[in-house]
Amino acid sequence: MFKPCNRYLLVRKQYFEEEDSVLSAIALPEGSFKQENRYEKVTVTAISSDVRPPLAVGQEVVVLSHMVEEVDFGQGTIYLVLENHVLGVVEDN
């Protein structure tokens, strides 16, 4: 298990299948013209000991997509984001 330090959050990305698939007569390499969202909703799976509330394990938070760091240290890929890159917490009504 990976334990984040220095105000980092360990997060799990949420993947969604594309609903509208358009067939094209032109074949392009996968990922070409990929439109990425500026913001991303992720689930917090672990937090550094110096991260302050209201952030907690199990919460869904919104972050800037380009600030999610993909780290592969030989035991699989993990995703980290700094506490100050969290824009807000998603709460159920």
d(CA 2, CA 5): 10
Specify the CATH superfamily of domain 1-15+37-93. GroES chaperonin (2.30.33.40)
List the 86-90 sheet strands across, edge first: 69-72, 77-82, 8-13, 39-47, 60-64, 86-90
- Residue in this structure with the two tokens 């500026």, named with its chain if needed: 38
Nearest CA-CA partner of 44 in 62, 57, 33, 27? 57
pTM: 0.75
Q: pLDDT tens, position by position, for the chain (93 residues)? A: 899 999 999 999 987 554 444 555 666 666 655 556 899 999 999 999 999 888 999 999 999 999 999 999 888 899 999 999 999 999 887
Q: Which residue has the tokens 């959050």?
A: 9
Cα separation, 68 vs 80, in Å, equals 6
